Amino acid sequence: MAVQDVVQIVMRDMTGADIAAVADLCFEQQWPHREEDLQTLLSIGSGLVAEIDGRIVGTIMAWRFGETFATLGVVIVAVAHQGRGLGRQLASAMIERLGDRTVLLNATEEGRPLYSRLGFAEIDTICQHQALAPGQTLVPLRAGERVRPMGAADAEALAALYNSATGMDRRILLETVLAEGSTVVLCHEHEQKGFAVLRRFGRGWVIGPVVAPDVTGAKALIAHWLGMQSGSFCRIDVPEASRLGTWLEDIGMPQVDRVTRMARGTAPVPGDAAKVFALAAQALG
């Protein structure tokens, strides 16, 4: 009679000392995350790792936004250990930690069936566009509008815009990306109406979050950063409903991938002041 080996999986909290191993798993999946990117994600959230014989073979991270919402990301299982239910174990363990919060995530095509079984429903599609940034793209501003660098006095207004646009308390996330990147503000008659952040990520630069009152304002903000980064590798993740996809394709930023935004629980309800036209990161929602 054959004796089947029993594989013991140890699940524990992720620490900063694990980041190099998490980056190796990202590399295996052909994800672009640098160790610095992962360290930033962990600094504002929490994570779990799954180990077999002392080696990390699975990961998951979560970010809490107030008492009502949370997001999941960096859900990875090493190729050699896929198909054994490890992803489900990690997701279930983290969801339990998040309590009664609505949980959101952006699922790959491969991961979508798992999350559906865990009670997640599809609510949107996120389109990933990237390329070497094209030359200056002109987007005419309307009367009374201008795009200017962020000043210290803008922080509260931008936080209010971001919270309204997402329907969640995103203050800690915004503070982190503002500190890491550079930000421009869309103003109308001296009132802040939107903003866009440019920061290092993966192979180059990511533009996001982008928050604006409408698609014209979003284009002006995005065009500013693409013009400033002309010739550099840039990425932007936009909701399909943003109506930016065709314009991005036309100016030389093709779509290279797409993920499905899903929610377990009641999805957040954004306000009317502004909309999210680009994500801070797929993991963060």
| pLDDT tens-digit map of 54-96 | 999 999 999 999 999 999 999 999 999 998 899 999 999 999 9
The number of angstroms, rounded, from the C-alpha of 63 to the middle of its chain's C-alpha atoms is 11
| pLDDT digit string, tens, across residues 162-206 | 999 999 999 999 999 999 999 999 999 999 999 999 999 999 999
Of 230, 268, 263, 239, give the one whose Cα is nearest residue 112: 263
Least confident of 52-66, 131-145, 226-240, 266-280: 131-145
- With a pLDDT cut of 90, the percent of the chain lying above it is 92
Which residues make beta-bridge pairs with 191? 188
Of 104, 120, 132, give the one whose Cα is nearest residue 205: 132
For the chain, counts of helices (H) and of strands (E): 8, 13
d(CA 37, CA 73) in angstroms, rounded, equals 13
Residues 6+ apart with CB under 8 A from 248: 129, 222, 236, 238, 254, 255
Question: Which helix (H) or strand (E) is 60 found in, with range?
Answer: strand 55-65
pLDDT (average), residues 221-228: 96
In 3-state terms, what secondary structure has residue 192? strand
Look up the pTM and report it. 0.94
Residue with tokens 């550099």: 232
| pLDDT digit string, tens, across residues 142-163 | 999 999 999 999 999 999 999 9
Domain 129-278 CATH class label:
alpha beta
- With a pLDDT cut of 70, the percent of the chain lying above it is 98
Tokens of 86: 């490890």
Is 50 exceeded by the pLDDT of residue 2? no
Of 285, 235, 238, 236, give the one whose Cα is nearest residue 262: 285
Check residue 135 and give its pLDDT: 81
9-100 carries CATH number 3.40.50.920: no
Is 50 exceeded by the pLDDT of residue 30? yes
Of 175, 193, 176, give the one whose Cα is nearest residue 184: 193
Phi, psi of 255 (to 5 degrees): -80, 130
- pLDDT class for 136, splitting at 50, 70, 90? confident
Check residue 31 and give its pLDDT: 93
pLDDT (average), residues 244-251: 97
Phi, psi of 151 (to 5 degrees): -115, 165
Check residue 7 and give its pLDDT: 74
Q: Where in the chain is the domain with CATH 3.40.630.30?
A: 9-100
Q: Where in the chain is the domain with CATH 3.40.630.90?
A: 129-278
d(CA 67, CA 239) in angstroms, rounded, equals 25
d(CA 164, CA 19) in angstroms, rounded, equals 33
Residues 6+ apart with CB under 8 A from 65: 71, 166, 168, 169, 170, 173
CA separation (Å) from 235 to 105, 141, 173? 19, 23, 19
Mean pLDDT of the chain: 95
